[in-house]
Amino acid sequence: MNPSTYSYQLQTGKVRAEFFRLLPISLFVVAFGAAFGLAAVQKGLEPLQALLMSFTVFAGASQFAAVDMWGSEVSLIPLIAVVFAINSRHLLMGASLYPMLRDMPPGRRYGLLLFLTDANWAVSAQDYQNGKRNLEVILGGGLVIWIAWIIGTWLGVYFGGLLQDPKSLGLDMVLGCFLLAMALGGNKSPRTLVAWTVAAISSLAAWKWLPPNTHVVVGALAGGAIGFFWLEKKADDEDRVGVEEETST
Amino acid sequence: MTIETTTAGILALIAIMTVVTVITRFGGVFLMSFVTINPRIESFINTMASSVLIAIIVPMAFSGDAGSLAALVVTAVIMLAIKKPLPAIAAGIAAAGLVRYAGITSL
């Protein structure tokens, strides 16, 4: 047993394995990156500027939204609001990894979070639900997705004209299908199903009636509220499972 | 307030976007470091985590075309049937491509 107060040690071999585990999905990230690179140069960004954005921002949906707002000048507050709203799901994703990340020194903890993105987080969260602590995928998987995103952007800015319509091949649905497969691979207790129903309804309501890009956070918090009020009991008193409020002091 | 898209302006915009995104990546963990993890918080975190996925996917299914819906439905069915992510995802993507190739835009 390691005497250090921080018990989580990243295993190099596992980081490498997770890199290759997410390699197939990152091939599709290359296609998204190419679509972004093309959109960016069409909106007047220089190739190197588009590459720099992919290198430092590394958050696809918000980058698409940002270059959509591009013109001879860009309004700052709307840009910040849109980027923050789209990426606010990171706040919840990061928070969900906290039970593992707190066993890591702060420097390494926040360094790892630079690579946090949907796909590698989904794998880590699913593994955690199944009782496996896997932060290696955040680093290894994040690295391969980040590299793919940069290569894709590079292809898009220089060879974007050659790009087939990615939508006709269904490539725009890769991330959606991936996240869905991750969700369905987790445990499906009655509590989870209730939370999912609540999350689905609230995210749809938010998508319809609340400001744009708030639906993920609204849906996720609504689903989380089910977990907050409905604690899963140990197997031995399963018959007492139910919605309980104000039981803890 | 606006920033002109000169070279310096664009670099400033990219820097701002980077800072905002890093804040979202760090913020959740930073705030959690002030929270005591008890079973209730743990339960909240776990349920919230899988709800993030649902909250991304469901509006995607409703706002997209028939192809996106077909992709998600096929992925779900195969994933529940054989519990292997890669075939499920591949079949979902193929379904989107086929539905769009067939020219079906809405169901």
pLDDT tens for each residue of chain A, 249 residues long: 444 578 899 999 999 999 999 999 898 899 889 989 999 998 999 999 999 999 999 999 999 999 989 989 999 999 999 999 999 999 999 999 999 999 999 999 999 999 999 999 999 999 998 899 999 999 999 999 999 999 999 999 999 877 667 778 888 888 899 999 989 987 788 999 999 999 999 999 999 999 989 999 999 999 999 999 998 765 444 444 443 433 443
Other Cβ atoms closer than 10 A to A161: 8
Pick among B32, B47, B75 to test the A interface (most A CBs inside 10 A): B47
pLDDT for position A4: 59
Nearest neighbour of B21 by CB, restricted to A57, A195, A198:
A57
For chain A, what is the largest distance between any 2 Cα atoms, rounded to a whole number of angstroms? 65
Q: Note whether A97 and A124 are within 8 A (CB).
A: yes
Q: For residues A41 and A30, what is the distance between their CA atoms, to the nearest angstrom?
A: 17
Strands A73-75 and B2-4 come out as antiparallel
CA-based nearest residue in chain A for residue B49: A96
Q: Note whether A166 and B68 are within 8 A (CB).
A: no
**What's phi and psi for B58, nearest 5 deg?**
-60, -50
Q: For residues A45 and A140, what is the distance between their CA atoms, to the nearest angstrom?
A: 30
Q: Note whether A186 and B44 are within 8 A (CB).
A: no
pLDDT for position A32: 85
pLDDT for position A248: 40
Global pTM value: 0.86
CA-based nearest residue in chain B for residue A204: B59
Mean pLDDT for chain B? Answer: 93
What average pLDDT score do residues B67-96 get?
94
CA-based nearest residue in chain B for residue A165: B97
Q: What share of chain A is helix, strand, coil (3-state, %, to 5)?
A: 75, 0, 25
- Distance from the Cα of B40 to chain A's closest Cα (Å) equals 5
pLDDT for position B33: 93
Q: What is the ipTM of this complex?
A: 0.90
- Distance from the Cα of A125 to chain B's closest Cα (Å) equals 7
Tens digit of pLDDT for each residue in B1-38? Answer: 899 999 999 999 999 999 999 999 999 999 999 999 89
DSSP A74: E
Q: For residues B100 and B91, what is the distance between their CA atoms, to the nearest angstrom?
A: 14
* 3-state secondary structure at position B67: helix
What confidence category does residue B107 fall into, taking pLDDT thresholds of 50, 70 and 90? low
For chain B, what is the largest distance between any 2 Cα atoms, rounded to a whole number of angstroms? 54
- Distance from the Cα of A194 to chain B's closest Cα (Å) equals 10
